[in-house]
Amino acid sequence: MRGAWVFAAAMLAAGGAQAQQAEETAGFELGIRYWVGTGMTTSSHDASGLNPAAGNPTSTLTYDKLDSQTLELYARKRFREHWFVKGNVGLGTIPNGRFIDQDFFAGQALFLETVSGLSGKLSYGSIDIGRKIGRSGNSSFGVFVGYQHWNERVDAYGFSNTNNALFVFTQTPGDNIPSVSNDQTWDSLRIGAEITSTRGRTRFQAELALVPYAKFRHEDSHWLRQDPADLGPAPNVIATGRGVGGQLDVEVRRSFPEFFGLDFALGYRYWKLSSTDGTMTFGGNSFTVTELISERQGVTFTVSKAW
């Protein structure tokens, strides 16, 4: 019995050493990732400087429950022994969600509140360059710097009163009438660290990226308010500025040499970018962006192969 335990321990150690060696010698990795998640975007501005009767924030637009399904292609290439470059590109759909439009009087009295259903799409891409900086046992550590582009567009249809506000519409458009569209883009600088820990055929990976600088463009098209005396031609509410944020990716991988040498992984991803430094323009006037927040999170499923 003791000999069996010794043999099992030796095989486990050998498996760990082989997986670690495979990780170190693999020069290229290619994979497909499926990301099932949900997200939200909220924006608000302050027009109280122009109109003292307005609240601060004057208006808040919330796009939430943005469930999504995304297919992503990613690759990683090692060079000069300790250096690496990695990147990904993803395209997805947002089949459903909710849009809430709120306007406030001074003292934050809720003047108007409507809700709409929506759908949309998302896309993103990133590229990073980094270096392995150390190893401890079966774990290795690295740092990287890179760039990410992230875009989401959603289209809301119709609207209905929530009956929580002072004013309600006596007539509302049908659910097939476009009411509001939002097109939002973030271009971000990423600075991060990663850890990889291997035991046998199982590997744990974690990546944390801080975003010290992100530039955004946030366009709202109010399709029912395009009269020149109102908001004018769409996109008729445009915000630009800069923000910060953070991103987290973790995965547990399992290699299957007997199955074409593929790795299968289950993971979790969280992204958040926010800003309080921006300007919103509409109706010929400019206002301060009180807050802009974009979040997305969910579970990832990955199939990959290393050479």
Specify the CATH number of the domain 2-306. 2.40.128.90
Task: Specify the pLDDT at position 284.
Answer: 87
- Cis before 57? omega within 30: yes
**37-82: pLDDT as tens digits:** 999 999 999 999 889 999 999 999 999 999 999 999 999 999 988 9
User: pLDDT band for position 212 (50/70/90)?
Assistant: very high
Tell me the average pLDDT of the chain: 91
Contact 98, 65 (CB under 8 A): yes
Contact 165, 113 (CB under 8 A): yes
**239-297: pLDDT as tens digits:** 999 999 999 999 999 999 888 889 999 999 999 999 989 999 998 899 999 999 999 99
Total Cβ atoms within 10 A of residue 62:
17
How is the chain split into domains, by residue range?
2-306
Give the CA count within 13 Å in the CB-facing half-sphere of 154. 27
User: pLDDT band for position 12 (50/70/90)?
Assistant: very low
